Amino acid sequence: MSAIMTSTKNSSALGYQSFKIGEFSFDRCEYFAYINCPTAEHIISIDDFLRALMRDVAWGFFYGTVAFDDVFGTINHYGNVDVYLGTKHAEWKHAGRDYIENFKSDELMDLFKAILSDWTNEGFDPFAAPQETGTAWGPKRGNEDRLISRQREVAKRMVGIPGDAPLRTDEGGYPVNRAFPDVDQEQPVIEAEPGFEGELHAYNFFGYLSRSDVTWNPSVVSVIRQSLFCPTTEEYVLPIDHGNDRVEWFLQLSDEIVWDIKDGETSTPLATVTMRAGDVSAMPGDIRHQGQSSKRCMLLVWENGSPEILDMIRKGTAPMVPVTF
């Protein structure tokens, strides 16, 4: 007979809190996060868990599925969120080990923020590339509430326009990242005719990106209705496996990312997509994607945030591929 394990870990022995919501409970030790639910126990390396949790929190559960790994994750229904174990994995489902529970978004967000705050030790920045931060290991040691409460920059029209999200500068606390010393920092020359000063707008987009202090965390630089240009800088591994509920697009601006593609429902590997500077690729709405970048690079993530798509997702009519040819 198959056993259902429950955690024997006592978070408090190491100075950490234990957390519970619905039938899910969360504990941590020096090296791992323990997730328990009525059908199973699952463990995830604590650094991976915190990096994934950071994205789920910062992105408000994002679009569709945020998979911490092949087993555990969240599914956003915009107002309420599923927490699942095994639901997106063929073998877990086959064994009847899968469990899913729905929560109000703000209640789950409060819990996730509390876990992130309590379990993130001083010196560990879950947004940073591994070479740019300390470790997550060991007993409780201070906190990094300042780093984990960073707000992502969201432009209403375009960054740098007076009154809109500001550009990144040395003075603003955004020095050029160590991996982009060769990215030109000059701003475009704008020659406005008399009477049109303040009507022409441009900025150094690559320069702006070279000053990103986080990895795998898109910010919004320009907006047309619900068309959102969300560029980001990427280094090492995307801490989540993203299963969008709609099509999204990637445009590789510099260097290279290799994307592992899996089936969104079963976790079966489907493909790898290698993207080099100038490459454009859609991510279908029925897959999961996880990127790997050997050197910090610039990626344009392009999202459609329209309510029209939300209706289509609810009715199951949102297209899974952007075009057929």
Partner 1 sequence: MATEYNTVFASIDNYRKGGVQCLNEDAKRYAFSNIYEVAATNKPYDRIVVAKNLDYTIEVCRAEGRSGWMACAHDEFVIAMDYDVVVHYLKLADDTMIDRDKDGFQSIKSAPEGQKMGRIFLKRGHQALLPENTAYSFQADKPATLMFQTILGDESIEKWAEICQH
The residues that touch Fe ion, with contacts defined as CB under 5 A, are: 242
Site for partner 1 in 196-255 (CB under 8 A): 196, 199-207, 221-222, 224-227, 229, 246-249, 251-255
Does position 162 bind partner 1 by CB under 8 A? Answer: no
Q: Report the residue number, 34 or 259, with the smaller CB distance to partner 1.
A: 259
Residue 242 interaction partner, one of Fe ion, partner 1, none, beta carbon < 5-8 Å per kind = Fe ion
Does position 322 bind partner 1 by CB under 8 A? Answer: yes
Q: Are 85 and 96 in contact (CB under 8 A)?
A: no
Interface with partner 1 (CB under 8 A), residue from 10, 12, 169, 272 = 272
Does position 192 bind partner 1 by CB under 8 A? Answer: yes
Does position 276 bind partner 1 by CB under 8 A? Answer: yes
Does position 128 bind partner 1 by CB under 8 A? Answer: no
Does position 296 bind partner 1 by CB under 8 A? Answer: yes
b/e sequence 253-292, b meaning 16+ C-beta within 10 Å: bbbbbebbbbebbbbeebeebebeeeeebebbbbbbbbbe
C-alpha distances in angstroms, 199 versus 186, 202, 244? 20, 10, 37
Q: Are 234 and 291 in contact (CB under 8 A)?
A: yes
Interface with partner 1 (CB under 8 A), residue from 33, 44, 108, 273 = 273
End-to-end CA distance of the chain: give it in Å, rounded. 51
Residues binding partner 1: number (CB under 8 A): 79
* Minimum CB distance to partner 1, residue 121 (Å): 27
Burial class (CB in 10 A: 0-12, 13-18, 19+), 246: buried
Does position 171 bind partner 1 by CB under 8 A? Answer: no
Interface with partner 1 (CB under 8 A), residue from 57, 116, 179, 301 = 179
- Quote the radius of gyration of the chain (alpha carbons, Å): 21
Residue 196 interaction partner, one of partner 1, Fe ion, none, beta carbon < 5-8 Å per kind = partner 1
Does position 186 bind partner 1 by CB under 8 A? Answer: yes
| Closest residue to Fe ion using C-beta atoms | 242
Distance, CA of 325 to CA of 28 (rounded, Å): 49
Which DSSP letter does residue 248 get? E
